[in-house]
């Protein structure tokens, strides 16, 4: 109990201290959070209303969305629990400390499980509550449906977390983490290659919603708990309470069974896995590899290469970092895996257009999230090492440039993804260029904004840096989203009005001049944020 | 109190500790000396139950540390970089530490007040740990380890970042502990601390215990006068040319 109380006390102290030190900031953030929830609610509501307006097709889509949503959540929360458990329970100084106390490994595991559950599924739980609330409202299902559905969500989320924890415990006890991920990567790569062979397109619109569709097929696999919860909720809606109850019982049974398995594995493997992953004890000899030799071949100044080596190696040797990248791109990977199954050519022009918009939005969203997560904290992560950088004879501007170059790798990845999407969908030439330019310049702007704001808000005097969760991180996210929304509204809004003949303009001219103006604006914005961050960085003190 | 037999720890291909046989009696102040990377921290982490031995056994108070977490009630461990809950106040952290070791509430309250007073932290008890300096954090770690009156105290590099007042206080408290019958095992680089406090000095190099005994026994063995000379002679192979 004491070890749980510590977390609650810490949380209370953080909030109390923050409110005392920055009352306006506290109110601003609380309001921001409240408004974000309202915004998400309205966004989901709009989506539901749109689908509702489609009639029968919308209804089919909505039901399919249930299965797919829960399948994706099962995968995402499972992956997230794996990563969170690894970093919270195994590669963590607190665990180290707890093991010196007279606490059984079981008690330590209990605490870590509760933490993992809250961290991994807290936000999805909130979103699901909103989702179900709106679904019940749109379909006039009443409050009782909403309240009952909460009983379905809880075991499902626990199951998702338990799956990640079990996978984490077993793989970390018996395997090397790098080997586990190499193996997973290999399996996915083979799977991708084999499923890439062209399939005949069906001219029927219903094909998109049929079982031939890989993700739908997978989401309808009756063995998966995601199928049970979707089926249970849909049966509840159809007033088939007996069937619904069976699925609910399935969920609870599996939840308790997995909990038993977690405890069984915990008793056997938790301490062992902890010993294997212990931070201080690892004295691995890391030899120079082919990657080093390849990087050495790059025609760059030696100091540039040194920083490049340092940043890349720090990133690759920290599983918490690269695992998140894998999760982000893993989701996109599944999305693009399914793109080839779209009978794009048989769709109407508005649907075609919608898919292009969604793809661009998806790639830019991921790019924006990744820059906030990985580029923004780049300066803060230097933390105590910054004195070394500042004392070095290399100008700070050059190091700034190096960081920008590393960050730009996100631009390359995003560009590759949108190119794959465009090639698979065989989109028209003008849309091909439009989306490619939007994604590449947009991603570069995200990098510059994040790096600039990261430099502006970094505080090298603090021992424990929580850059992303800070006000700067929030501001970065808001600016990125504003830029993203503005970009998409300008281009796709006007093209949409043109397609629906509500606005008649020469689209070729608009694209040329519009894009030119937008590129200039983006470059000015990037330059502005870079200068802002760089100037502030030059004058920063460090402890 | 502390007994190890054939204790060894291997990381990949490197033996950090090998064939370590210790037998430290009740009330003994044992100092483990050694150059950087000799295996001192690994030894202490093995004894604290934070690492699993590759070979050998560890008995503390007659119980195997690797299989029992109950024995940890009687052990205090101060690592070189201690962990603290940064968002707790000093008082909250001490209350947590006492409660975890099941110290009775009334006694705990008195002890917290007593130690806060002698460590001159009474005025700071309500500030968050994250806002404390390194030295104050070190003092908090010491208090948290004194609260449950451990019978065995393991300390890794004990006086880093402490001011002269705290150093004198801690030296006095540690000595008092051993007089009351507790055992202290401490690793340090500061030779005069070892010279001043230790009943037995053990010198470890490349994972092996190369010599141990009282200061006078070590003097006899090496024909050197000061501990510095003894240490250098034992750990540097060409000490004559040094």
The answer to whether the Cβ–Cβ distance between B83 and A96 falls below 8 Å is yes
User: Which of A9, A11, A12, A102 to mutate: most B Cβ within 10 Å?
Assistant: A102
pLDDT, average across residues B11-21: 83
User: How far, in Å, CA of A535 to CA of A221, rounded?
Assistant: 56
The whole-angstrom distance between B234's CA and the closest CA on chain A is 25
| The total number of structural domains that make up chain A | 3
Query: What mean pLDDT is reported for chain A?
Result: 78
Has residue A137 been placed in a domain?
Answer: yes
Checking if the pLDDT of B104 tops 80, the result is yes
Same domain, A147 and A239: yes
Do residues B94 and A2 make contact, with C-beta atoms less than 8 angstroms apart?
no
Residue A123 host element (H or E): helix A105-138
Same domain, A7 and A82: no
Q: How far from the centroid of its chain's Cα atoms is residue B202's Cα?
A: 13
* Domain limit, last residue, from A250, A279, A308: A279
Both tokens assigned to A131:
């989702």
The answer to whether the Cβ–Cβ distance between B51 and A5 falls below 8 Å is no
Least confident segment among A151-160, A204-213, A366-375:
A204-213
Instruction: Pick the closest to residue B95 from B107, B109, B115, B81 (CA basis).
Output: B109
Checking if the pLDDT of A527 tops 60, the result is yes
Checking if the pLDDT of A198 tops 60, the result is no
pLDDT, average across residues A239-261: 89
Both tokens assigned to A233:
């909720």
Model pLDDT, residue B238: 64
Q: Tell me the pLDDT band of A256, cut-offs 50, 70 and 90.
A: very high
Residue A5 touches partner B, C-beta closer than 8 Å = yes
Higher pLDDT, A51 or A531: A531
Residues from chain A that touch B79, judged by Cβ atoms under 8 A, are 96, 100
Same domain, A82 and A198: yes
Q: In chain B, what are the domain boundaries? A: 2-82+151-241
Has residue A289 been placed in a domain?
Answer: no
Checking if the pLDDT of A268 tops 60, the result is yes
Residues from chain B that touch A93, judged by Cβ atoms under 8 A, are 83
3-state SS assignment for residue B153: strand
Q: How far from the centroid of its chain's Cα atoms is residue A142's Cα?
A: 33
pLDDT in tens, B34-66: 888 888 888 998 888 888 888 888 888 888 887
Model pLDDT, residue A339: 64
Has residue A323 been placed in a domain?
Answer: yes
Higher pLDDT, A520 or A265: A520
The answer to whether the Cβ–Cβ distance between B42 and A281 falls below 8 Å is yes
The answer to whether the Cβ–Cβ distance between B87 and A100 falls below 8 Å is no
Same domain, A339 and A361: yes
DSSP B89: B
Model pLDDT, residue A467: 57
ipTM: 0.77
Sheet holding B14-24, edge to edge: B14-24, B2-11, B55-60, B63-64
Model pLDDT, residue A149: 86
Same domain, A222 and A313: no
Both tokens assigned to A64:
């399919």
Residue in chain A closest to B51 (alpha carbons) equals A275
Residue A20 touches partner B, C-beta closer than 8 Å = no
Q: Tell me the pLDDT band of A252, cut-offs 50, 70 and 90.
A: very high
Model pLDDT, residue A522: 92
Higher pLDDT, A418 or A252: A252
Least confident segment among A191-195, A301-305, A431-435, B151-155:
A191-195
Has residue A288 been placed in a domain?
Answer: no
Same domain, A247 and A351: no
pLDDT in tens, A26-55: 888 888 888 888 888 888 888 888 777 777
Model pLDDT, residue A253: 92
What does the buried/exposed string (b/e) look like for B123-147 if buried means 16 or more CB atoms within 10 Å of the residue's CB? ebbeebbbebeeebbbbbbbbbbbb
Same domain, A352 and A484: yes
Q: Tell me the pLDDT band of A279, cut-offs 50, 70 and 90.
A: very low
How far is CA A299 from each of CA A51, A295, A410, B163, rounded to the nearest angstrom? 53, 9, 21, 51
User: How far, in Å, CA of A80 to CA of A167, rounded?
Assistant: 11
Same domain, A303 and A404: yes
Has residue A284 been placed in a domain?
Answer: no
pLDDT in tens, A315-357: 776 666 676 777 666 667 666 666 666 555 566 667 777 778 8
CB atoms within 10 A of CB A53: 8
CB atoms within 10 A of CB B213: 14
The answer to whether the Cβ–Cβ distance between B96 and A13 falls below 8 Å is no
CB atoms within 10 A of CB A370: 23
Has residue A416 been placed in a domain?
Answer: yes
Model pLDDT, residue A280: 45
Higher pLDDT, A408 or A161: A161
Same domain, A267 and A126: yes
pLDDT, average across residues A230-250: 86
Query: What mean pLDDT is reported for chain B?
Result: 85
The whole-angstrom distance between B2's CA and the closest CA on chain A is 16
Has residue A517 been placed in a domain?
Answer: yes
pLDDT, average across residues B224-232: 80
Residue in chain A closest to B48 (alpha carbons) equals A100
Residue in chain A closest to B89 (alpha carbons) equals A13
Residues from chain B that touch A13, judged by Cβ atoms under 8 A, are 87-89, 92, 128
Model pLDDT, residue A377: 81
Checking if the pLDDT of A543 tops 50, the result is no
The whole-angstrom distance between B220's CA and the closest CA on chain A is 36
Q: Which residue, chain included where needed, has tokens 């080093």?
A: A292
User: How far, in Å, CA of A486 to CA of A366, rounded?
Assistant: 16
Higher pLDDT, B108 or B235: B108
Model pLDDT, residue A282: 47
pLDDT, average across residues B98-127: 88
What is the domain extent for residue A392?
Answer: 294-543
Residues from chain A that touch B45, judged by Cβ atoms under 8 A, are 280-281
Checking if the pLDDT of A213 tops 60, the result is no
Same domain, A301 and A269: no
Residue A459 touches partner B, C-beta closer than 8 Å = no
The whole-angstrom distance between B11's CA and the closest CA on chain A is 6
The whole-angstrom distance between A333's CA and the closest CA on chain B is 36
Same domain, A45 and A70: no
Has residue A532 been placed in a domain?
Answer: yes
B2-82+151-241: CATH homologous superfamily?
P-loop containing nucleotide triphosphate hydrolases (3.40.50.300)
Same domain, A156 and A263: yes
The answer to whether the Cβ–Cβ distance between B86 and A464 falls below 8 Å is yes
The fraction of chain A above a pLDDT of 90, given in percent, is 6
User: Which among A104, A281, A282 is the nearest to B69, CB-wise?
Assistant: A104
The whole-angstrom distance between A324's CA and the closest CA on chain B is 26
User: How far, in Å, CA of A515 to CA of A437, rounded?
Assistant: 8
Q: Which residues 353-412 of A have a C-beta within 8 angstroms of B? A: none
Both tokens assigned to A404:
């920008």
Model pLDDT, residue A283: 47
């Amino acid at each position: 109990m004491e070890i749980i109380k510590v977390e609650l006390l810490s949380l209370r102290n953080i909030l109390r201290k923050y409110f005392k030190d920055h009352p306006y900031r506290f109110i601003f953030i609380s309001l921001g959070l409240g408004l974000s929830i309202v915004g998400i609610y309205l966004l989901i509501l709009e989506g539901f209303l749109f689908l509702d307006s489609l009639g029968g097709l919308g209804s089919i889509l909505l039901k399919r969305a249930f299965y797919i949503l829960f399948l994706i959540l099962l995968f995402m929360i499972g992956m997230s629990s794996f990563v969170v458990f690894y970093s919270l329970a195994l590669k963590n100084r607190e665990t180290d400390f707890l093991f010196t106390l007279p606490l059984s490994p079981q008690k330590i595991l209990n605490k870590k499980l509760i933490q993992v559950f809250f961290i991994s599924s807290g936000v999805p739980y909130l979103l699901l509550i909103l989702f179900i609330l709106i679904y019940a409202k749109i379909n006039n299902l009443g409050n009782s449906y909403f309240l009952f559905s909460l009983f379905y969500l809880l075991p499902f989320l626990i199951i998702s977390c338990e799956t990640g924890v079990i996978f984490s415990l077993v793989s970390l006890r018996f395997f090397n983490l790098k080997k586990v991920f190499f193996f997973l990567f290999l399996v996915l790569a083979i799977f991708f290659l084999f499923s890439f062979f062209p399939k005949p397109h069906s001219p029927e619109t219903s094909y998109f919603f049929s079982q031939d569709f890989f993700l739908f097929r997978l989401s309808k696999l009756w063995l998966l708990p995601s199928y049970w919860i979707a089926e249970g909720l849909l049966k509840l809606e159809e007033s088939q309470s007996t069937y619904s109850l069976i699925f609910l019982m399935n969920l609870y049974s599996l939840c308790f069974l997995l909990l038993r398995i977690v405890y069984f594995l915990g008793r056997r493997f938790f301490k062992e896995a902890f010993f294997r992953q212990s931070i201080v004890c690892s004295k691995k000899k890391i030899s120079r590899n082919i990657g080093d030799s390849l990087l050495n071949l790059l025609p760059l100044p030696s100091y540039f290469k040194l920083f490049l080596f340092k940043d890349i190696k720090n990133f690759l040797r920290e599983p918490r970092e690269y695992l998140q990248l894998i999760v982000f791109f893993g989701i996109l990977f599944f999305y693009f895996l399914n793109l080839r199954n779209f009978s794009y050519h048989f769709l109407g022009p508005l649907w075609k257009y919608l898919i292009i918009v969604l793809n661009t939005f998806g790639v830019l969203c991921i790019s924006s999230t990744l820059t906030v997560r990985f580029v923004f904290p780049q300066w803060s992560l230097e933390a105590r090492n910054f004195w070394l950088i500042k004392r070095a004879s290399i100008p700070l501007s050059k190091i700034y440039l190096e960081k920008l170059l590393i960050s730009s790798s996100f631009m390359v990845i995003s560009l590759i993804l949108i190119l794959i999407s465009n090639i698979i969908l065989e989109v028209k030439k003008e849309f091909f260029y439009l989306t490619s330019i939007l994604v590449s310049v947009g991603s570069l702007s995200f990098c510059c904004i994040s790096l600039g704001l990261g430099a502006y808000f970094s505080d090298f005097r603090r021992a424990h840096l929580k850059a992303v969760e800070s006000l700067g991180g929030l501001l970065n996210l808001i600016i990125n989203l504003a830029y993203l929304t503005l970009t998409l509204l300008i281009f796709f809004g006007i093209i949409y009005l043109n397609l629906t003949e509500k606005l008649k303009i020469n689209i070729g001219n608009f694209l040329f001049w519009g894009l030119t103006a937008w590129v200039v604006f983006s470059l000015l914005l990037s330059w502005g944020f870079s200068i802002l961050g760089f100037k502030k960085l030059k004058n920063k003190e460090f402890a | 109190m502390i007994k190890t037999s054939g204790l060894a720890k291997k990381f990949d291909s490197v033996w950090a500790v090998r064939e370590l046989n210790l037998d430290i009696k009740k009330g003994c102040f044992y100092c483990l000396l050694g150059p950087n990377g000799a295996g001192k921290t690994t030894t202490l982490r093995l004894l604290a139950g934070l690492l699993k031995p590759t070979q050998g056994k560890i008995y503390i108070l007659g119980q195997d540390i690797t299989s029992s977490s109950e024995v940890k009630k009687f052990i205090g461990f101060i690592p070189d970089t201690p962990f603290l809950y940064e968002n707790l106040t000093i008082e909250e952290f001490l209350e947590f530490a006492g409660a975890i070791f099941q110290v009775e509430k009334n006694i705990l309250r008195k002890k917290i007040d007593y130690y806060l007073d002698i460590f001159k932290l009474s005025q700071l008890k309500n500030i968050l740990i994250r806002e404390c300096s390194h030295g104050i954090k070190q003092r908090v770690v010491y208090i948290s380890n004194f609260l449950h009156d451990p019978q065995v105290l393991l300390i890794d590099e004990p006086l880093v970042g402490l001011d002269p007042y705290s150093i004198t206080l801690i030296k006095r408290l540690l000595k008092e502990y051993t007089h009351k019958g507790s055992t202290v095992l401490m690793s340090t680089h500061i030779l005069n601390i070892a010279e001043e406090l230790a009943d037995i000095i053990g010198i470890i190099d490349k994972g092996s215990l190369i010599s141990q005994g009282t200061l006078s026994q070590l003097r006899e063995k090496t024909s050197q006068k000061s501990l510095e000379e003894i240490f250098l002679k034992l750990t540097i192979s060409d000490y004559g040319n040094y």
